[in-house]
Structure formats: structure tokens, C-alpha cells
């Protein structure tokens, strides 16, 4: 089984255990054992739907006998009043899954919606938006999946799949050239085939990075628009370019117009507004 699926199932079980404790006493005392029913996932907001595939996994783990009728898939535009799916089966099981399904889907949909807004703003510029590691601990896989659903691009997943030499690494290593040389030597010694990206804070550091070579991408951090355009002109055709630092919905287009290949935005995952939705019982009488 894929390692991300294994991690997802582990997370779901931990989250359910956190919620359930020694039993759902409210459901147990108000609803007869074995009672069957149906509920709908009701959208109460406008945005991009994300997390339907995760809801399926949650229901499966809670109770394999639960069944879903899916009307809207991940990535679709939704609006107030839409119904994404029905879930049928044990009412006790539906109520156990309810809060986890909503927490995950609301957050994922919020991330996908924010990402999609950026993607729309960047249309025609040639610049793509990246996420970051500024994610909720334990939820990185889900939050980065939501970015992809919204049309964004995933940056490195963790510390293991890219060498990203940032300002602290440079300062501890003794400078740009030393940091890059150490990275290249390390990858060769360890026989690792992962990309190297170097963060630069000014044009002087950029010149050092260009002269050192051996990297795949240059991250231009907190550059003014004027300096960013100058930097892109120096780099053009030699390295992939990425801009970061204080990029928001209000200024992302201006960054893109400077000609960078990517903009990275921590705001995609660390400060989004969740999409409003609820799981409502469907009355059958």
C-alpha cells in the first residue's frame, strides 16, 4: 500500500480515537442500536470542493458497511445549497464520522479555494504557485493534496526530498559558495538524486550562487519588485526562479509580472478560511 495511504489511515484512526474515547454517549442514549439512516453533505459557501476522497476513506474505516452516493467530486466549483454526497447506513457510524469528515473537508476546501483564486490571478503569466512546509503538523499530506486540487503545485514535501539551502544554512555554513559546495559533495557521497535549491537575500548573494552553479533552482526571498526583475534578468535561462516572502492575493500578480517561474505562498495553508458545510440527516418519513 502507498505510504501516504498508510499514513492517512493511521491519522484517521488516531483522530477517531481522540474523538470517541470510551464511547459516543449522546448517540448511544438517544438513538436505538442498529438504526439505519441517511445524511447529506450540504455546502453552505462558494468555492472549490476538496476532501471527498478523504471522506470516503473515513467512512470506510469507521464502518465498511456505510455507502456513499457521490454527486460532486474534488476540484468542482460549489455554491450554497449544493449537496456533495449522501452517506447511508448505521446512524451511529455516520455520527461518529461526522465531525472528522467536516473538519477535514472544510479545511481542505478552504485551501483549494484560496489556491484556485491565486491560480486564476496568475493565468497567462507563466508563473505557478507553490505551497510550503507551513502546514498543520500531521495534516501536511491532506493540505498539500488540497493545494493540488485547487490547481497549485506542491513544493518539497519534507526535509528529505529536496536540498533547500536557506538563510540559516548559508550563515552556519559560512556563505553561499561553501553551502552549495557542501550540498553537492553530500549528495554525491550519499548517492542521492534530489534537486538543490538555494535561497538568496540580495543581488550580491545571487551573483555568488550563479557563479557557484550546481543548483536547480534559486529562491529570491523578500526582493523588491525592482530588484526581483533585475535578478530574473540575471538568472534567465540558467536556473528555475522562485520568489517568496510576504506574497499575498493582493500582490501575487505583481510578483508574477517580474518573470519568476514560481511564487511560494505559506498563506495557502497557514491562514485560510475554511469552507462552510454541514452533514445533515435526511428525514425519511
Domain that holds residue 62: 3-109+274-281
Q: Residue 96's pLDDT is what?
A: 97
The reply to whether 59 and 95 lie within a common domain is yes
What DSSP state is assigned to residue 284?
-
Q: 97 lies in a domain?
A: yes
Q: What CATH number did the domain enclosing 19 receive?
A: 3.90.1170.20
Q: Residue 5's pLDDT is what?
A: 85
- Mapped onto helix, strand or coil, the DSSP state of residue 199 is strand
The reply to whether 95 and 125 lie within a common domain is no
What DSSP state is assigned to residue 59?
H
The reply to whether 70 and 148 lie within a common domain is no
Is residue 279 a contact partner of residue 255, using CB atoms and an 8 Å limit?
no
Distance CA 73, CA 57 (A): 14
Q: Residue 3's pLDDT is what?
A: 79
pTM of the model: 0.94
Q: 175 lies in a domain?
A: yes
Residue appearing with cell numbers 553551502: 179
Q: 254 lies in a domain?
A: yes
Distance CA 253, CA 88 (A): 45
The reply to whether 128 and 224 lie within a common domain is yes
Q: Are strands 77-78 and 83-90 parallel, antiparallel or unpaired?
A: unpaired
Counting the structural domains of the chain, the total is 2
Report the alpha-carbon angle 187-193-195, nearest 5: 85
The reply to whether 162 and 98 lie within a common domain is no
The reply to whether 150 and 239 lie within a common domain is yes
Angstrom distances, CA of residue 254 to CA of 86, 144, 250, 258, 261: 43, 24, 9, 7, 13
Q: 32 lies in a domain?
A: yes
Q: Residue 257's pLDDT is what?
A: 97
Q: 184 lies in a domain?
A: yes
Q: 114 lies in a domain?
A: no
The reply to whether 53 and 21 lie within a common domain is yes
Report the alpha-carbon angle 276-279-280, nearest 5: 120
The reply to whether 101 and 148 lie within a common domain is no
The reply to whether 263 and 134 lie within a common domain is yes
The reply to whether 92 and 177 lie within a common domain is no
What DSSP state is assigned to residue 251?
T
Q: What is the mean pLDDT of each run of 10 residues along the chain (285 residues)?
A: 84 94 92 95 98 98 97 98 98 97 98 98 97 94 97 96 97 96 97 97 96 96 96 95 95 97 96 96 76
The reply to whether 135 and 102 lie within a common domain is no
Q: What CATH number did the domain enclosing 157 receive?
A: 3.20.20.70
Q: Residue 283's pLDDT is what?
A: 77
Q: 23 lies in a domain?
A: yes
What residues act catalytically?
99, 134, 166, 199, 221
Q: 142 lies in a domain?
A: yes
Containing H/E element for 186? helix 176-190
The reply to whether 72 and 104 lie within a common domain is yes
Q: Are strands 217-221 and 196-200 parallel, antiparallel or unpaired?
A: parallel
Amino acid at each position: 500500500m502507498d505510504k501516504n495511504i498508510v499514513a492517512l489511515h493511521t491519522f484517521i484512526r488516531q483522530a477517531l480515537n481522540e474523538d470517541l474515547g470510551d464511547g459516543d454517549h449522546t448517540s448511544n442514549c438517544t438513538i436505538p442500536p442498529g438504526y439505519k439512516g441517511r445524511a447529506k453533505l450540504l455546502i453552505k459557501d462558494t468555492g472549490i470542493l476538496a476532501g471527498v476522497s478523504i471522506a470516503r476513506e473515513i467512512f470506510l474505516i469507521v464502518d465498511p458497511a456505510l455507502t456513499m452516493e457521490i454527486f460532486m467530486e474534488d476540484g468542482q466549483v460549489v455554491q450554497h445549497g449544493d449537496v456533495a454526497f449522501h452517506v447511508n447506513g448505521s446512524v451511529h457510524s455516520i455520527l461518529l464520522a461526522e465531525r472528522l469528515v467536516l473538519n477535514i473537508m472544510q479545511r481542505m476546501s478552504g485551501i483549494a479555494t484560496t489556491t484556485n483564486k491565486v491560480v486564476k490571478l496568475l493565468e497567462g503569466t507563466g508563473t505557478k504557485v507553490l505551497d510550503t512546509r507551513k502546514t498543520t503538523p500531521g495534516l501536511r499530506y491532506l493540505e498539500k493534496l488540497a493545494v493540488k486540487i485547487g490547481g497549485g503545485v506542491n513544493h518539497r514535501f519534507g526535509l528529505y526530498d529536496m536540498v533547500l539551502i536557506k538563510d540559516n544554512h548559508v550563515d552556519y555554513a559560512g556563505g553561499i559558495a561553501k553551502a552549495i559546495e557542501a550540498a553537492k559533495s553530500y549528495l554525491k557521497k550519499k548517492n542521492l538524486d534530489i534537486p538543490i535549491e538555494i535561497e538568496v537575500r540580495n543581488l550580491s548573494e545571487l551573483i555568488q550562487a550563479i557563479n557557484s552553479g550546481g543548483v536547480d533552482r534559486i529562491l529570491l526571498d523578500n526582493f523588491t519588485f525592482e530588484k526581483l526583475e533585475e535578478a530574473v534578468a540575471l538568472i534567465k535561462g540558467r536556473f528555475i526562479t522562485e520568489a517568496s516572502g510576504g506574497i499575498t492575493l493582493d500582490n501575487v500578480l505583481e510578483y508574477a509580472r517580474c518573470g519568476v517561474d514560481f511564487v511560494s505562498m505559506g498563506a495557502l495553508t497557514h491562514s485560510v478560511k475554511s469552507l462552510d458545510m454541514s452533514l445533515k440527516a435526511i428525514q425519511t418519513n
